[in-house]
């Protein structure tokens, strides 16, 4: 424990951001180094490596760790880790690289973001990774599609990050060190984290507040990195959170931050991944609801809850809080779930995603039992905004 908070994964935060002196030295060497251009997912990974959210990782996975994560959901040292953090290139690019050398990692404009010390370059089985991590080889799955489109060689080794990307949502972009400081200043020791890539509806609000009844504070931590093109944009989702916090949450019990990571849509494995990151941010508990990080019909409704039983609870450290599908029951006259409501579904206010989108496009507010009117108005306005 640190300052009364849960310890980071592995015992301490691993900050891979270069010191000012290191940065100056590495920038001087960078023009003479081989360059690899990174995409948005790798740039997001660099930020999480820089700030300690990926603790205990020091860089992109070497082969032993990669195989152990893909096959066993643990690093080679036995510590739980469920998603491989990798850097891929094609065969031609890899041919000129030698293990032991430094490589400059640059963004699309050529600006140096980090320097990788190459420990290993190795082949890997894309289809095997897809089966293990995403439970499917279907290219229609957005996570699988990324694997199939990336290079055939993985580069593993530690990184020193020189810069992070433009700070969207800078007001809310707390590092794990900063979020932990906020928790200590507020006197919180038991903090529950909540992850979402979707707009917040009454069901989300209900389970957040149920969890908040049992802990000191709630860390609302929506993901603002890459998502599917048909997901609601992060700036819209953040406006929804802001209006909810202004009207319906106790200000001294809730902190809103953002997670600048990319969605993998790995369902159960990503639930573990999201929990471990929130552990690094200082959360002692983590909410796992229906179809966490799911997409399409690739995962069972509660697979993301069941997977926690496959791990040693002490090794995970963070405590999951499982919630059933929730709804407003007209007979109970309250929010409820199948665990607490005795009435048939005809008494429940439930809407499909398709129906909600139809109502919003028509400019019609969904029932207030489903969505707060303030949130629905933001979504209606967003759907009317011209596409940039």
* 198 catalytic residue (yes or no): yes
List Cβ<8 Å contacts ≥24 apart for 271-274.
Answer: 271/304, 271/305, 271/307, 271/308, 271/320, 272/73, 272/80, 272/82, 272/83, 272/307, 272/308, 272/311, 272/316, 273/81, 273/82, 273/83, 274/195
* 244, 247, 253, 254 alpha-carbon torsion, rounded to 10°: 20
Give strand ranges (E) for 257-322: 285-288, 319-322
| CA dihedral sign, ordered 286, 322, 195, 296 | positive
Token digits of residue 263: 């969605």
Gap between the Cα atoms of 285 and 269, Å rounded: 17
Token digits of residue 252: 């001294």
Catalytic pick among 160, 197, 237, 264 = 197
- If 0-12 CB within 10 Å is exposed, 13-18 middle and 19+ buried, where does residue 102 land? middle
Q: What Rg value do the Cα atoms of the chain yield, rounded? A: 21
Give strand ranges (E) for 53-152: 59-60, 87-89, 102-106, 112-117, 120-123
* Cβ pair 158, 58 in contact under 8 A: yes
Catalytic pick among 198, 253, 325, 357 = 198
Gap between the Cα atoms of 196 and 287, Å rounded: 10
Instruction: Provide the pairing of β-strand 285-288 with 254-256.
Output: unpaired
Residue 29's SS3 state is helix
* 197 catalytic residue (yes or no): yes
Gap between the Cα atoms of 110 and 251, Å rounded: 42
Q: Give the active site residues.
A: 197-198
């Amino acid at each position: 424990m640190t300052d009364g908070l849960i310890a980071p994964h592995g015992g301490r935060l691993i900050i891979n951001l270069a010191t000012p002196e290191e940065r100056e030295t590495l920038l001087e060497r960078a023009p003479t180094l081989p360059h690899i251009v990174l995409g948005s997912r790798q740039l997001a990974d660099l930020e999480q490596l820089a700030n300690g959210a990926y603790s205990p990782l020091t860089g992109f996975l070497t082969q032993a760790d990669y195989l152990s994560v893909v096959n066993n959901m643990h690093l080679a040292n036995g510590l739980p880790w469920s998603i491989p953090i990798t850097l891929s290139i094609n065969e031609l690019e890899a041919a000129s690289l030698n293990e032991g050398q430094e490589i400059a990692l640059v963004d699309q404009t050529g600006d140096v973001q980090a320097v990788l010390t190459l420990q290993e370059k190795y082949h890997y089985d894309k289809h095997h990774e897809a089966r293990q991590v995403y439970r499917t080889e279907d290219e229609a799955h957005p996570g699988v599609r990324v694997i199939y489109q990336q290079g055939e060689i993985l580069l593993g080794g530690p990184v020193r990050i020189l810069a992070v990307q433009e700070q969207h949502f800078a007001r809310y972009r707390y590092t794990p060190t900063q979020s932990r400081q906020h928790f200590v200043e507020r006197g919180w020791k038991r903090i529950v984290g909540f992850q979402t890539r979707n707009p917040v509806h009454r069901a989300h609000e209900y389970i957040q507040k149920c969890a908040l009844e049992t802990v000191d504070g709630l860390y609302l931590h929506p993901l603002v990195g890459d998502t599917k093109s048909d997901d609601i944009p992060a700036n819209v989702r953040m406006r929804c959170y802001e209006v909810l916090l202004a009207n319906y949450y106790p200000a001294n019990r809730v902190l809103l931050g953002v997670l600048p990571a990319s969605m993998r849509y790995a369902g159960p494995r990503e639930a573990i991944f999201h929990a471990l990151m929130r552990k690094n941010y200082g959360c002692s508990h983590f909410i796992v609801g229906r179809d966490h990080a799911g997409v399409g019909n690739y995962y069972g409704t509660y697979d993301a809850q069941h997977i926690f039983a496959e791990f040693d609870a002490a090794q995970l450290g963070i405590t999951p809080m499982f919630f059933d599908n929730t709804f407003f029951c007209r007979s109970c006259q309250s929010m409820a779930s199948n665990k607490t409501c005795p009435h048939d579904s005809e008494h429940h206010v439930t809407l499909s995603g398709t129906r909600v989108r139809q109502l919003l496009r028509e400019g019609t507010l969904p029932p207030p039992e489903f969505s707060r009117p303030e949130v629905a108005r933001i979504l209606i306005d967003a759907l009317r905004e011209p596409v940039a």
